[in-house]
Structure 1
Amino acid sequence: MSETPWLTIIGIGEDGVAGLNAASQAALHAADVIMAPPRHLSMIPEGSAERIEWPVPFANGIAILASLRGKQVAVLASGDPFWFGTGSVIARSFGPDEWRAFPTASCFALAASQLGWALDKTHCVGLHAAPMARLRRHLAPGTQIIATLRDGGGVHDLAAYLNGAGFGDSTLTIFEHLGGPQERITISKAATLTGTFDHPVCAAIKVAGDGPSLTTATGQTDSTFKSDGQMTKRPIRAITLSTLAPKPHEHLWDVGAGSGSIALEWLLAHPTTRATCIEPRADRAARIRQNADDLGVEHRLTIINGNAPETLTGIDTPDAIFVGGGLSTDLLESVIALNTRLVVNAVTLEGEAFLANAQTQYGGELMRIEIAKTKPLGAKRGWSASYPVVQWSLNR
């Protein structure tokens, strides 16, 4: 890079300017403008640079920052700006030759070094601007989590969430003003947490308790999802997800979504997957939203309350499509035209005949899935068969 960029993103810790490296201090000294939240501005000694408080909501600050082109600008952020911080938002808003960054130790690194935890084996989660349910996928005994929190009140919200999920025995290590002269550390079980806490704050969680944990395989227990009975049950769902074969960054359409269990398991498969549920019944669409909220995947899910294929226009292109209900000739022609992975399940004779004709016309694979479970038969036991499911898959 031949010239020094006009914008410098500087990570600052609770020890203020004293903890900055030489490059960060030089960038601050050379700045015409320092832009930061009030707390960070208070850490910087008075000087000739203009000071601008970063506004709330955060997004409004980007336009202000853009208006400062032509000046040397330093933006202050907590710790490592690229760990759940402002760095990535600023970086994607400006050209790569316009900015540079000087991070300092993140709260995750500082907390792990206090606890002796291997950071590569610890889940790091940003809860300062996200619901507590983002923890759901990580809640299993023995798991280590470090989470940023919105403020002191967020500590009690965290404890209440863990309690409600059946993990009140989890050990919380609460860090206030971590790495600075006001640093305070509190250790407590989630179930017995008391006291007040100051911002900035983060928490380390050693998960313990007998609450239900999510499996790392496909096929979550049926009780994971709220449903009115219209749901692809666990064994069939596991096979269906295996056939859909979710991959990182892929987008699924779940047509006739019911409880949304297929889309939700798709979202649980990887933190970068996305899904769109198309469901004609408003009560079921609302239930899908509640399930997504409970599992902490709501931010990657779009729900469309309407009929397919009429509602399929204007949606982000899918990498895979699952049709679990409402199959018709018009719908089939619409999804076939997208030339993507397609999986369709049917349980009726009419649906089976429809899929047999589709396979003859378009190719792909047909699979008949028959499952039986034991049940009492007098003084002994016998097999009780479920309705067979015919699955047609087409990979284009």
Structure 2
Amino acid sequence: MSPAPPAPAAPEPLSVVGIGADGWDGLPAASRRALCAAEVLIGGARQLALLPAECTGERVPWPSPLRPAVPGLLAAYAGRRICVLASGDPMFYGIGRTLTEVLAEQAEGAPPDAPGGPSGEAPAPAAGHRLRILPHPSAVSYACARLGWPVEDTEVVTLVGRPAENLLRALYDGRRVLVLSAGAHTPAEVAALLRTHGFGPTRMRVLEQLGGARERTAEGVAADWDLPPGDALNVLALDCVRAPGTPHLSTVPGLPDAAYEHDGQLTKRHVRAATLAALAPAPGELLWDIGGGSGSIAVEWLRAHRSCRAVSVERDPVRAERIGRNARTLGVPGLRVVTGSAPAALEGLPVPDAVFIGGGLTAPGLLDACWAALPAGGRLVANTVTLESEALLAERHRRHGGELVRLAVSHAVPVGGFTGWRQAMPVTQWSAVKPPADSRSASSASSSAAPPASPGPSSQENRQP
């Protein structure tokens, strides 16, 4: 009987070392050992320049764009000890997250009989890295220490590789916000944004080179910010102050109608709040907003949590552009807008957790396509103001259950010298949760269940006038 082959050696861990503006002097012993032992050192040019000559590994600067290059770099240096440099804490808006996601994708994509798969053979270098994270204090920790702000009570917004409008949803009177800057230009860009959106009185402090020998702080007020650009490595601290007359925007659904640019195609405030309650957004979930109109449903879905995602489908190009403007103005520039007619425009979209139909209900096949695309537990909500679409919703209520309600809102208006009620058109709303027994492969349904779109139904059929 031949002896069993020796167990394969475990792959070298992929080390990720956080480093601050204090450079080598600020690193603990474990981080120094990992850097000295590395055969390949990957990082930004600024980070690599902080290392002394005793770190003899080959120095490889990150290419741009970074994320698509990660799998290729790991494969190119497979079998060698790799150490990746990160700013501060690698797992806080850092390269650590990217590496964990890439390695997980590679592991999932490995065939069962490939090295690194379930067969127990030695992992392939590209998919078999074990990640070892050696963090450094983050810029947020340093900034809060300098400012005397509790970290847990401080809102943090990163503008590194992200639109500046992401900051807008964090602006509330009296709030403390830390902004992770994209560069030396960020303070001036943020000051302009604050002035434009009614937060000109906000106190701004720029904290540069935190933890390093060249640490400094500059201060001013957004309304008259005129400081020249400083160091590119900076964090911006905001003590938010709303200017008199600036509208107060709530964190919950039901923003004032005046918060939106629209041509009348808008789900009105009270119906919108009820609609979002039925859609029930949760962190990380994806919404399809069909017949977007002004985009109000998708915008307020995204405002529910920063990890929520949404796709707004609107056939009118002018309205589609307007949806994008509303999303940026209200702090959710990540809203994806698809210009086209549903159901054809739904083809290829990622599987939704919830679907709202606010326009085009009578388009042939639309309701079937949306229901088929939902996974078990997915929610579908549809609103209408017309009898024709109401009949469709009543039939779906008989078929799938759920709730069928009529929402009627009246507003007090002057009647001569008195006050009376003016009623808006009532809205019929059907909402349902897809049961497990009714579920099928949503990934294929979203691309195959949508029949060709037909001309005809107007998005106006479902919106309040």
- TM-score, normalization by structure 2: 0.81
Q: Is contact 2:286–2:352 with CA below 8 Å preserved after alignment?
A: yes
RMSD: 1.8
Question: How far does residue 97 in structure 1 lie from its aligned partner after superposition?
Answer: 4.4
**2:420 — aligned with what?**
382
Q: Is contact 1:278–1:306 with CA below 8 Å preserved after alignment?
A: yes
Distance 1:337 1:27 in 2: 51
Distance 1:41 1:362, change over 3 A: closer
Q: 1:64 aligns with which of 66, 69, 73?
A: 73
Question: How far does residue 17 in structure 1 lie from its aligned partner after superposition?
Answer: 0.6
Q: 2:37 aligns with which of 11, 27, 30?
A: 30
Q: 2:431 aligns with which of 371, 374, 393?
A: 393
Distance 1:288 1:61 in 2: 33
- Where in structure 2 are there 5+ consecutive unaligned residues? 1-8, 104-126, 435-465
Q: Is contact 1:6–1:69 with CA below 8 Å preserved after alignment?
A: no
Q: Is contact 1:16–1:44 with CA below 8 Å preserved after alignment?
A: yes
Aligned runs of 1:245-284 on 2, under 5 Å? Answer: 245-284=280-319
Question: How far does residue 377 in structure 1 lie from its aligned partner after superposition?
Answer: 0.8
Q: Is contact 1:168–1:208 with CA below 8 Å preserved after alignment?
A: yes
**1:143 — aligned with what?**
175
Distance 1:69 1:213, change over 3 A: farther
Q: 2:369 aligns with which of 334, 341, 348?
A: 334
Distance 2:69 2:88 in 1: 19
Question: How far does residue 214 in structure 1 lie from its aligned partner after superposition?
Answer: 2.5
**1:313 — aligned with what?**
347
**1:128 — aligned with what?**
160
Distance 1:96 1:245, change over 3 A: farther
**1:225 — aligned with what?**
260
Supply the AA of the counterpart residue of 1:127: L
Structure 1 moving runs of 4+ over 6 Å: none
**1:39 — aligned with what?**
46
**2:24 — aligned with what?**
17
Distance 1:338 1:158 in 2: 40
Distance 1:196 1:273 in 2: 34
Aligned runs of 1:162-201 on 2, under 5 Å? Answer: 162-193=194-225, 194-201=227-234
**2:393 — aligned with what?**
355
Distance 1:348 1:230 in 2: 15
**1:106 — aligned with what?**
138
Supply the AA of the counterpart residue of 1:357: E
**1:206 — aligned with what?**
239
Question: How far does residue 176 in structure 1 lie from its aligned partner after superposition?
Answer: 0.9
Mean Cα displacement is larger for which, 311-320 or 156-165? Answer: 311-320
Question: How far does residue 280 in structure 1 lie from its aligned partner after superposition?
Answer: 1.1
Mean Cα displacement is larger for which, 185-194 or 231-240? Answer: 185-194
SS in structure 1 of the partner of residue 16 of structure 2: strand
- Where in structure 1 are there 5+ consecutive unaligned residues? none
Q: 1:54 aligns with which of 44, 51, 62?
A: 62
Aligned residues: 394
Question: How far does residue 224 in structure 1 lie from its aligned partner after superposition?
Answer: 2.0
Share of identical aligned residues, percent? 40
Deviations 1:176-197 (A, max 9, x none): 1111000011121112322331
Deviations 1:64-83 (A, max 9, x none): 24311211122111111111
Mean Cα displacement is larger for which, 211-220 or 330-339? Answer: 330-339
- TM-score, normalization by structure 1: 0.94
Distance 1:183 1:348, change over 3 A: same
Deviations 1:192-214 (A, max 9, x none): 32233112111111101223343
Question: How far does residue 98 in structure 1 lie from its aligned partner after superposition?
Answer: 2.5
SS in structure 2 of the partner of residue 101 of structure 1: strand
Supply the AA of the counterpart residue of 1:37: G
Question: How far does residue 60 in structure 1 lie from its aligned partner after superposition?
Answer: 5.3
Distance 1:341 1:261 in 2: 18
Q: Does 1:290 align with 2:299?
A: no
Distance 1:304 1:198 in 2: 39
Mean Cα displacement is larger for which, 47-56 or 377-386? Answer: 47-56
Q: Is contact 1:172–1:203 with CA below 8 Å preserved after alignment?
A: yes
Deviations 1:318-372 (A, max 9, x none): 1211111111252122223345321111112333333233323433221111111
Distance 2:402 2:80 in 1: 60
Supply the AA of the counterpart residue of 2:59: R
Question: How far does residue 27 in structure 1 lie from its aligned partner after superposition?
Answer: 0.6
Question: How far does residue 129 in structure 1 lie from its aligned partner after superposition?
Answer: 1.5
**1:76 — aligned with what?**
85
Distance 1:87 1:337, change over 3 A: closer
Supply the AA of the counterpart residue of 2:145: S
Distance 1:296 1:8 in 2: 36
